[in-house]
Amino acid sequence: MARHQFNISRSADSVSAPPSSRELTTDTVFRGIAWICASLIIVLTACLLFKIGAQAVPAIRQHGLGFIFGTTWDVSRETFGVLPEIWGTLYSSFLALLIGGSFGVAIAIFLTQEFISPRLAAIFRTIVEMLAAIPSVVYGLWGIYVVIPMLRPISEFLNAWLGWFPMFSTDLAGPGLAPAALVLAIMILPTVAAISVDAMRRIPYKVKEAAYGMGTTRWEAILKVMLPTASSGILAALVLGFGRALGETMALAMLIGNSNQINLSLFAPANTLASLLASSFPEAGQIEVQALMYAALVLLAITFLVNVGGLAIQQYTVRKFEGKR
Amino acid sequence: MIPVASMVDDDAAMAAAVRAIPRLERQTFESRALKSGLLTTLTWAAALLAAVPLFSVLYMLVVEGGARIDLEALTALPPAGFEQGGGFGNAIVGTLLMVGIASAIAVPLGIVAAIYLSILGAHTRVARVSRFLAKVLTGLPSILAGVFAYAAVVLWMGSYSAIAGGVALGMLMLPTVVLTAEEAMKEVPQRMKDAAFGMGCTRSQVIWSVVLPTGLPGILTGVMLAVAGAAGESAPLLFTALFSNYYVSEMVEPTASLSILIYNFSAMPFDNQISLAWAASLVLVFMVLIINILARLIGQPKV
């Protein structure tokens, strides 16, 4: 009998061998580096909070909670309040969610419920994803030269006939809330559509078969079975889309008109926290920068809460369909 | 033999039974079918309408920007006030430089962090927390990355700079790189890793020789999507890199970028600047879409 092959650690025709001590050291060092990189994400997030927070401390001391409920932003008198900006941020994002959300969910249904062949669906999906790839500033430019001129006659008509209704109480003189919200809706549509498609795809195929087997029409199946089953995923899509809308900056800074007022009218200029930062920061002096840091902190808090809420719902959806991992 | 009379009876009974069955085929004008048809039409309309903005943007870019694109626009310096001609060569260089800095920070850091999240310590507390934070950071408003870079880099170095702009963009790229690279590395089949471990590989050797090469297409897709996103960002550059009318000569000075040029020129009352803004948008969108499409081609599952 030949000697047992496994006793020879480096035989001619095998590459297997126990690691040398040098390889073991390299392994330990590399694993250490990987751990550091992973922890760096945590450190970086903490750093982000700390840096913005530290810069905002003087303004927080000086203005306190009055900052959030104040309505004037006057550098010369050093009075700062961001209530109009908070209102504008929430109002524009809400309008964008209303439009972008309904279109996004409709597209998710369109892509997942056999309206078109899978090949065409893939192409259409790419088109929707390309909407997300176009830079915000290009949407801003497009909004100025396409959306505002397009909306102006509509706003004049609505204001003339329905001017008593608070949402149409002004017409569109130039930039304003409506073009900003419309462009914002286009920008969040891909987010809502992508997460909703994901939610619809998670529904087991047998659920749909069971519905059709009961003799439902396509839309009875969608409305009474598919949508309720995917509801938590779609809710996550809407919340995360809302989060996107809250933080969107450039297109809004170019389209919303940067005017500190609280107005229900769709066609009046308004302002958002992000576009306040974008338009005031580059030219701000010491005192105003501190106030702007406070505003940044408020924006950070709002988006953080909305995003964590959306992620929690999404997590819940995944667990519901895949069991706890 | 079956009696003739009973056969006749059976036929009659059968006919009655058939008549009693409700009509199961689709009735076009039944209210359920009408409702279904109406909603289908609406969905088609919504889907087609949603594609309109993309084509409108592309049309405007090609018509307005295409007319202005020439060698001068791609290489010359931005014009001032009433000046005619000019271009945005320095902005193209600035954008490439800052995206390069951002990638140099975010790509290695992101991929190595993803290695920890997907393989080395997938279920440790550090991994759970940083994965969650990476997801939260994908929703970070881009302007806040700019505020952070301003507070951390601009105030520290005492000057607006390409480095500060790069840090802000890197902050935005990092979560995308981490999460997509993690996904890509999780897709590597366990049996390939097991085979490598069976040969006596250390964990690092398994990662470098098996997991990274196998997951490379997916990782590259994520990196390129992040790069495309960063190239189009403008909010984080507003008060980190600022803008400059000249070619970049050193790292610690205000630096031009395409997106800020578009933002500045869009608000100017001069036709020359506005047409340059369209041309710059065309270049920017062209760059971003090309990277996006390449990323998709690389990442496509091989069938």
For residue B37, tell me if it sits in a domain: no
pLDDT average, residue stretch B99-106:
96
For residue A97, tell me if it sits in a domain: yes
For residue B248, tell me if it sits in a domain: yes
In the chain, the amino acid numbered B251 is: M
How far away is chain B from the Cα of A164, in angstroms, using its nearest Cα? 30
Among A136, A142, A226, A289, the residue to mutate for chain B (most B Cβ within 10 A): A142
Residues 56-95 of B with CB under 8 A from A: 56-57, 60-61, 64
Asked if A80 and A182 sit in the same domain, the reply is yes
In the chain, the amino acid numbered B240 is: T
Residues 88-147 of A with CB under 8 A from B: 102-103, 106-107, 109-110, 115, 124, 126-131, 133-142, 144-146
User: Range with the lowest mean pLDDT among A1-10, B38-47, B193-202?
Assistant: A1-10
What is the extent of the structural domain holding B107? 71-299
- CA neighbours closer than 13 Å in the CB half-sphere of residue B87: 15
Domain with residue B215: its CATH number is 1.10.3720.10
* pLDDT higher than 70, residue B303: no
Cβ atoms of A140 and A253 within 8 Å: the answer is: yes
Contacts of A196 in chain B (CB under 8 A): none
In the chain, the amino acid numbered B60 is: M
How far away is chain A from the Cα of B123, in angstroms, using its nearest Cα? 11
* pLDDT higher than 80, residue B20: no
For residue A13, tell me if it sits in a domain: no
pLDDT band at residue A4 using 50, 70 and 90 as cut-offs: very low
C-alpha B135/C-alpha A195 separation (Å) is 14
Are B263 and A23 inside 8 Å of each other by CB?
A: no
pLDDT band at residue A13 using 50, 70 and 90 as cut-offs: low
For residue A14, tell me if it sits in a domain: no
* pLDDT higher than 50, residue A1: no
Among A134, A146, A225, A304, the residue to mutate for chain B (most B Cβ within 10 A): A134
Residue A312 near chain B (CB below 8 Å): no
Q: Which chain A residue is nearest to residue B266, measuring alpha carbons?
A: A141
Are B127 and A38 inside 8 Å of each other by CB?
A: yes
User: Range with the lowest mean pLDDT among A263-267, B47-51, B114-118?
Assistant: A263-267
pLDDT band at residue B283 using 50, 70 and 90 as cut-offs: very high
For residue A1, tell me if it sits in a domain: no
pLDDT average, residue stretch B191-207:
90
How far away is chain B from the Cα of A76, in angstroms, using its nearest Cα? 22
For residue A172, tell me if it sits in a domain: yes
Helix, strand, coil distribution of chain A in percent, nearest 5: 75, 0, 25
* pLDDT higher than 50, residue A127: yes
Are B32 and A138 inside 8 Å of each other by CB?
A: no
pLDDT average, residue stretch B62-89:
88
In the chain, the amino acid numbered A183 is: V
C-alpha B208/C-alpha B220 separation (Å) is 15
Asked if A51 and A170 sit in the same domain, the reply is no
Asked if A176 and A275 sit in the same domain, the reply is yes
Residue B239 near chain A (CB below 8 Å): yes
Q: What pLDDT digit, counting tens, does each position of B122-179 carry?
A: 889 999 999 999 999 999 999 999 999 999 999 899 889 999 999 999 999 999 999 9
Q: Which residue has the higher pLDDT, B7 or B157?
A: B157
> Which tokens belong to B227?
């790069």
- The total number of structural domains in chain B stands at 1
Last residue of a domain, one of A8, A43, A62: A62
Q: What pLDDT digit, counting tens, does each position of B215-258 carry?
A: 999 999 999 999 999 999 999 999 899 898 888 888 888 999 99
pLDDT band at residue A282 using 50, 70 and 90 as cut-offs: confident
Contacts of B148 in chain A (CB under 8 A): 47-48, 51-52
Asked if A31 and A179 sit in the same domain, the reply is no
Contacts of A304 in chain B (CB under 8 A): 136
Q: Which chain A residue is nearest to residue B135, measuring alpha carbons?
A: A311
- Position A324 scores a pLDDT of 46
Are B139 and A240 inside 8 Å of each other by CB?
A: yes
Asked if A32 and A76 sit in the same domain, the reply is no
* pLDDT higher than 50, residue A2: no
* pLDDT higher than 60, residue A84: yes
Residue B290 near chain A (CB below 8 Å): no
Q: Which of A69, A73, A18, A28 is nearest to A260 (CA)?
A: A73
Asked if A68 and A157 sit in the same domain, the reply is yes
Cβ atoms of B139 and B172 within 8 Å: the answer is: no
For residue A9, tell me if it sits in a domain: no
Cβ atoms of B271 and B61 within 8 Å: the answer is: no
Last residue of a domain, one of A62, A91, A112: A62
- The total number of structural domains in chain A stands at 2
- Position B6 scores a pLDDT of 57
C-alpha B276/C-alpha B67 separation (Å) is 10
For residue B200, tell me if it sits in a domain: yes
Residue A150 near chain B (CB below 8 Å): no
Q: Which of A67, A44, A43, A47 is nearest to A55 (CA)?
A: A47
Contacts of B57 in chain A (CB under 8 A): 134, 138-139, 142
Asked if A25 and A94 sit in the same domain, the reply is no
First-to-final CA distance of chain A: 50
Q: Where are the beta strands (DSSP E) in chain A?
A: 73-74, 79-80
* pLDDT higher than 90, residue A109: yes
Q: What pLDDT digit, counting tens, does each position of A184-197 carry?
A: 999 999 999 999 99
For residue A218, tell me if it sits in a domain: yes
What angle separates helix B162-186 from helix B212-232, to the nearest 10 degrees?
Answer: 140
* pLDDT higher than 70, residue B2: no
Q: Which of B116, B198, B199, B130 is nearest to A31 (CA)?
A: B116
For residue B24, tell me if it sits in a domain: no
Asked if A110 and A258 sit in the same domain, the reply is yes
- Position A5 scores a pLDDT of 47
* pLDDT higher than 70, residue B302: no
For residue B164, tell me if it sits in a domain: yes
Cross-strand partners of A73: A80
First-to-final CA distance of chain B: 63
C-alpha B110/C-alpha B182 separation (Å) is 9
Cβ atoms of B188 and B230 within 8 Å: the answer is: no
How far away is chain B from the Cα of A232, in angstroms, using its nearest Cα? 18
DSSP-derived 3-state class of residue A79: strand
Handedness of CA A131, A252, B102, A56 (dihedral sign): negative
Residue B106 near chain A (CB below 8 Å): no
Asked if A56 and A129 sit in the same domain, the reply is no
Are A217 and B56 inside 8 Å of each other by CB?
A: no
What is the extent of the structural domain holding A25? 20-62
For residue B31, tell me if it sits in a domain: no
For residue B183, tell me if it sits in a domain: yes
Q: Which residue has the higher pLDDT, A7 or B240?
A: B240
For residue B285, tell me if it sits in a domain: yes
Asked if A39 and A101 sit in the same domain, the reply is no
